[in-house]
């Protein structure tokens, strides 16, 4: 699991209802129409004898078909997706069906927690979807690769030029060896065009009221925290009931002190990697110092993340450190009063922080038309579609021609700053199969004063050692 769990947890019931409704609509739009109307359409276009009437499909040097899917006749792509991509999929399926009216979609959406529990089982079934989301790390992607349930995308990446577009290193988070036992290396098994960044949201009125200005360095940011505390304001709104929200905060401090490349190596399990370094200790000590200074919400471990977001919207707290998937909720609640910036440069010398690409798209091994599925993915990866992503509130991982407005402009600028410095540090919970549970418990113990910063790092490293030793 990764820390983005929380984004789907808020208003769970409402979301489930929305998903159920969306699913019904999509099913009605695709499935229902398929059976009743489309044979007639096919007749009118003469599509019932496609093999004779259309030219042979164009292929590339690798024998991959990238175009001319009209020749397939009526086909339906089955898609299993996490509900965060609902709006993205609506747009993408619409565009793809405009290009190929013979291709229809059957989309099944599930909320994050639910999705990660059931997806491997569905992908393993005798009748799996053609396309499905996975999740970086050993628990999902590693499992799917080791079981041979998904196909490598290297050839498609070459044909469609994904490595040039996204940066080869950026895609490492979707790589595994063929056994699914070595993360970050080997073939490419998935891809996403969406970036997810953790950054600092701030309440503009509050910041002005304490006489603060946007910080240019990590040091200045710390000074703002002290300034806020002195003014009687809550410096950082944080609800750590789930254990992962504090990890996002820690991740920002970590990247301020420690080179991002070291952090990535640790996540990918490079031999000899450790969090027991001087820079990491400085980060842990700083984090503890913030706790001791009362910079976080009182009773931090007893407040849920969604509640803390609501409190921030209500004017409790000058800063909120969280993922960019909170943007829509915050903008809706605070309007122009909320801004966003990437954590400014600290002793590490670069702008860095917890960030990664979104959940990967996989093509299942049993997909009937893998080239068609890849072409659909390619549409979502395309430069044109980057603008569509921005339009539905997501941060595209490649440059787009459209300049976002409002809070999303801040978020995009912050993301660009991190990318420019190669400061992406990935999600620490991808590291081992138990790391999510270790980290969530340990941040709570750290914030509850049960363990010291040094003990925190030792316990986390113990999980790392146990996994990579065996």
**Under rule CB under 8 A, residue 437 binds another protein:** yes
* 169 counts as binding another protein under rule CB under 8 A: no
Distance CA(355)–CA(418), nearest Å, equals 9
Helix, strand, coil percent content, the chain, rounded in steps of 5: 55, 15, 35
If the CB atoms of residues 1 and 267 are measured against another protein, the closer one turns out to be 1
User: CB of 73 within 8 A of CB of 170?
Assistant: no
From the list 113-121, 220-228, 385-393, 419-427, the region that binds another protein by CB under 8 A is: 113-121
- The Cα 393–Cα 87 span in angstroms is 9
Closest CA to 320 of 349, 328, 330, 210: 330
Closest distance of CB 244 from another protein, Å: 10
Could you say which of 445, 455, 458, 468 contacts another protein (CB under 8 A)? 445
Q: Does 237 bind another protein (CB under 8 A)?
A: no
For another protein, give the closer residue by CB, 273 or 440. Answer: 440
Binders of another protein: how many residues, by CB under 8 A? Answer: 35
Q: How many angstroms separate the CA atoms of 49 and 422, rounded?
A: 52
Among 3, 202, 376, 436, which residue sits at the site for another protein (rule: CB under 8 A)?
436
The Cα 224–Cα 218 span in angstroms is: 10
Read off the DSSP letter of residue 56. P
Q: Return the ∠ at Cα 363 (arms to 361 and 364), rounded to 5°.
A: 125
Interface with another protein (CB under 8 A), residue from 24, 45, 53, 117: 117
Q: Which of 22, 103, 149, 381 binds another protein (CB under 8 A)?
A: 149
Helices and strands in the chain: count of H runs, count of E runs: 21, 12
What distance in Å separates the CA atoms of residue 2 and residue 184, rounded to the nearest whole number?
Answer: 16
Give the shortest CB-362-to-another protein separation in angstroms: 14
Contact window for another protein (CB under 8 A) among 20-28, 166-174, 373-381, 442-450: 442-450
**Residue with smaller CB distance to another protein, 203 or 440:** 440
What is the Cα–Cα distance from 194 to 356, expressed in whole angstroms?
9
Q: In what order do the strands lie in the sheet with 103-110?
A: 103-110, 75-82, 131-133, 361-363
Binding of another protein at residue 182 (CB under 8 A)?
no
Q: Which of 243, 245, 404, 414 binds another protein (CB under 8 A)?
A: 243
433 binds another protein (CB under 8 A): yes
Select the residue interacting with another protein from 139, 192, 286, 348 (CB under 8 A). Answer: 139
Distance, in Å, from the CA atom of 361 to the CA atom of 374, rounded to the nearest integer, reads 10
- 235 lines the binding site for another protein (CB under 8 A): no
Min separation Cβ 185 and another protein, Å:
20
User: How open is the CA angle 312-318-319, to the nearest 5 degrees?
Assistant: 80
Among 147, 208, 223, 402, binds another protein (CB under 8 A): 147
Q: How far is the CB of 284 from another protein (least distance, A)?
A: 17
Q: List the one residue from 194, 283, 303, 439 that touches another protein (CB under 8 A).
A: 303
Cα–Cα distance, 395 to 424 (Å, whole number): 14
Half-sphere exposure of 393 (CA within 13 A, CB side): 15
Question: Would you say 380 and 193 are in contact if contact means Cβ atoms under 8 Å apart?
Answer: yes
Find the part of the chain contacting another protein (CB under 8 A) among 138-146, 194-202, 209-217, 218-226.
Answer: 138-146
Report the phi/psi class of residue 60: left, alpha or beta, with left for phi > 0 and alpha for psi in -120 to 50: beta
Closest CB to another protein among 355 and 439? Answer: 439
**Residue number, 257 or 295, with CB nearest to another protein:** 295
Site residues, another protein (CB under 8 A): 1, 116-117, 120-121, 124, 139, 143-144, 146-147, 149, 240-243, 298-304, 307, 433-434, 436-437, 440-442, 444-445, 448, 450
């Amino acid at each position: 699991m990764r820390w983005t769990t929380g984004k789907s947890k808020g208003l769970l019931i409402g979301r489930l209802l929305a998903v159920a409704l969306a699913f019904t609509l999509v099913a009605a739009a695709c499935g229902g129409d398929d059976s009743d109307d489309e044979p007639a359409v096919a007749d009118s276009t003469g599509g019932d004898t496609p093999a004779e009437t259309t030219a042979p499909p164009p292929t590339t040097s690798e024998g991959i078909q990238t175009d001319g899917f009209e020749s397939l006749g009526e086909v339906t792509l089955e898609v299993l997706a996490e509900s965060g991509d609902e709006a993205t999929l609506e747009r993408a399926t619409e565009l793809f069906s405009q290009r190929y009216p013979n291709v229809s979609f059957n989309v099944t959406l599930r909320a994050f927690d639910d999705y990660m529990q059931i997806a491997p089982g569905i992908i393993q079934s005798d009748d799996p979807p053609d396309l499905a989301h996975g999740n970086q790390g050993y628990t999902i992607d590693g499992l799917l690769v080791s079981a041979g349930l998904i196909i490598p995308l290297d050839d498609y990446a070459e044909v469609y030029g994904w490595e040039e577009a996204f940066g080869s290193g950026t895609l490492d988070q979707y790589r595994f060896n063929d056994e699914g036992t070595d993360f970050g290396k080997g073939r490419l098994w998935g891809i996403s065009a969406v970036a997810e960044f953790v950054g600092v949201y701030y309440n503009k009125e509050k910041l002005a009221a304490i006489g603060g200005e946007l910080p240019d360095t990590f040091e200045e940011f710390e000074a703002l925290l002290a300034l806020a505390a002195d003014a009687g304001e809550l410096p950082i709104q944080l609800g750590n009931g789930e254990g992962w929200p504090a990890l996002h905060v820690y991740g920002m401090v970590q990247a301020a002190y420690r080179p991002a490349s070291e952090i990535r190596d640790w996540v990918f399990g490079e031999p000899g990697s450790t969090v027991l370094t001087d820079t990491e200790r400085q980060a842990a000590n700083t984090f503890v110092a913030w706790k001791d200074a009362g910079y976080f919400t009182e009773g931090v471990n007893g407040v849920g993340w969604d509640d803390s977001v609501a409190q921030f919207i209500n004017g409790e707290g000058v800063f909120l450190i969280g993922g960019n998937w909170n943007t829509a909720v915050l903008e809706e609640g605070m309007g122009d009063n909320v801004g966003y910036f990437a954590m400014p440069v600290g002793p590490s010398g670069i702008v860095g922080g917890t960030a990664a690409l979104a959940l990967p798209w996989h093509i299942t091994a049993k997909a009937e038309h893998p080239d068609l599925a890849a072409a659909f993915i390619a549409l979502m990866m395309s430069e044109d579609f980057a603008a569509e992503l921005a339009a539905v509130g997501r941060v595209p991982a490649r440059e787009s021609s459209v300049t976002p407005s409002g809070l999303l402009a801040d978020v995009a600028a912050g993301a660009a700053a991190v990318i420019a410095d190669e400061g992406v540090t990935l999600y620490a919970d991808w590291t081992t199969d138990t790391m999510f549970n270790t980290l969530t418990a340990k941040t709570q113990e750290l914030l509850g004063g049960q363990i010291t910063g040094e003990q925190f790092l030792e316990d986390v490293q113990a999980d790392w050692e146990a996994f990579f030793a065996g």
